[in-house]
Amino acid sequence: MKPVNKSILLCLGLLLTALPACKKDLIKLNDNPNGSNPATINPNLVLSTVLTQAGIEIVTLGYQDMAGVMQHTQKDGWTTTHNEYDWAGTNSWTAYYDILRNNQLVYDRAVTLNNELQQGVSLVMKSMMFGLITDLWGDAPYTQALKGQLGGTDNTLPVYDPQQVIYTGILADLDKANTLLSKSKSEYTNPIDAVDVYYAGDPTKWRKMANSLALRYYMRLSEKLPDVAKAGIEKIAGDPAKYPIITDASEDAAMSFPGNSNADSWPANATYDTDSSGYRRLKMCNTLVTYLQTRHDPRLGVWANKVQCFLLVDNNLPPGTGNVYKPVDTVVNGESRKVRYISPDVLASKGLTLNDINQDVDYVGLPPAIPGPAVYNLSPDAGQASRNPHVSWLNDIYKQAKGPLLKARLISAAEVHFILAEAAGIKGWAAGDGETHYNAAIKASLTTWGLAGYYTAYISQPAVKYNHSQQQIVEQKWVASWTAATEAWADFKRTGYPQLHAGPYAKGPVVPVRLYYMLEERNLNKANLADALKRLEVTNYSSFGANGAQNSPWSKPWIIQGTGKPW
């Protein structure tokens, strides 16, 4: 044997001798000391992410594009998704399922550790997130969801469960959560105070949230399965000791924002957006403005700014070309004031004419889905940079990264009382007194916005005073859903109220009822998606949109099929 071969064999022998030790050291190296092992992690560390991300996703949806659908707001720049329902399949549920995967880890670890508080909280969050998904899309992965790590076709390509299965599962989980959360705080050995950004670890408030969400989903079923909805709502309303609910604004499920970075701040704030385009493009919609103005609603002044000039209606347009001019000073009743000239269509929308000189038109909203919203109402903004002073911008508080009124609101006392008002006052179910709940709902909403002192004057107006009408209840609930418009969309689909009209540039002639199933699902989970599409009801409006009649935002999911609603 040559010397070189002896050397090679010697090296191989030394290497083989060292392998067990190397393997042991490599295992140690691959165990990240700063990482999280799903098998051993404290569930509280993950729960904080679940709660904060859920709050951010829900308020962003309710403050942004759903506010456009429900005509709380309109945009005068980058308008297509907000004003016109030009979604084209780009909306995705990925962020919601990411939250649900983390939440499942919380639940699994809580079961292993016998942490009943964390189990109950995670079931509430699971119910809310799956409820959001099925409200938005219809059928969705549910029973086979959140199991991708287990492998296998059923887990990586899950079936789309029918909506009825999802709602039934949600209500069963909420009932289980009610039991898990029924102990006093001192009886739970693993508190969540430090990570609970909703209720600071109070199990009683979480229990109220669970039962309040159950009321939401029972009412969701009220047109489709009225007997189920009636039994569920009467069960909860009839036994407040066993099924406590949110009844006061101080118990709202709400999340404040620290405001330390754009990631933990109010969405579309101007603090971290240096040119404030996110804030600036959002304007009030005239649908909501008109409703509030006709009722002298004090919430309008909290949510919106007045137009930036004093108002004067005049028959004479200013000299100049087109819409490019600046407001000028004039003298009105001996006072020097700023003047602007109001477009006739704005006057008509408020029931005024050019002869109504000096009418008080402090708030002007953008009509839904109009062409050229940036230059609406004779705007002097020639650059169309969303700086129109002739429409109402959102209140300056929405420029801020944080503030006492800037909260993600997941479910509120106002919503709960409106549900019970409709159940008792309209449907005749045993849920208390309809008028009492209606009044309590309005008071709770006013209180939320710092306006409790206006309650007596507001509720005494003929247009506001309870009149045993589903339309009145749902419209007031729509108002109270400001910054949480996703819930108002669910009510609109169920009832047809408020009676909204799609604008001339909308992608369809009526307000849509669902989101498209997204492109990645159409590519990766074709067979299961095809089954779900077959269960959608094609309507007279289903030809509108980008992805075919079956996957149309105007095709009806199970929850409203056969109800004749909303159109």
Percent of the chain's residues with pLDDT above 70: 84
pLDDT tens by residue, 99-120: 999 999 999 999 999 999 999 9
- As a whole number, mean pLDDT of residues 314-328 equals 38
Nearest-angstrom CA–CA distance, 164 and 172: 12
pLDDT tens by residue, 46-97: 999 999 999 999 999 999 999 999 999 999 999 999 999 999 866 899 999 9
pLDDT tens by residue, 187-216: 999 999 999 999 999 999 999 999 999 999
Please say whether the beta carbons of 177 and 210 come within 8 A.
Answer: yes
Domains, the chain, ranges and CATH?
A: 45-257+406-495 (1.25.40.390), 298-399 (no CATH)
- As a whole number, mean pLDDT of residues 174-183 equals 98
Nearest-angstrom CA–CA distance, 366 and 304: 12
Count other C-beta atoms under 10 Å from residue 338's C-beta. Answer: 17
Nearest-angstrom CA–CA distance, 158 and 151: 11
Task: Name the helix (H) or strand (E) containing 345.
Answer: helix 344-349
Nearest-angstrom CA–CA distance, 442 and 448: 10
Please say whether the beta carbons of 324 and 108 come within 8 A.
Answer: no
Neighbour-count burial for 144-183, b at 16+ CB within 10 Å, e otherwise: bbbbeeeeeeeeebbbbbbbbbbbbbbbebbbebbebbee
Q: Name the residue type at position 148.
A: G
Question: Which two structure tokens, joined as six digits, stand for 284?
Answer: 């009030």
Task: Name the helix (H) or strand (E) containing 337.
Answer: strand 335-339
Pairing verdict, β 335-339 and 328-332 = antiparallel
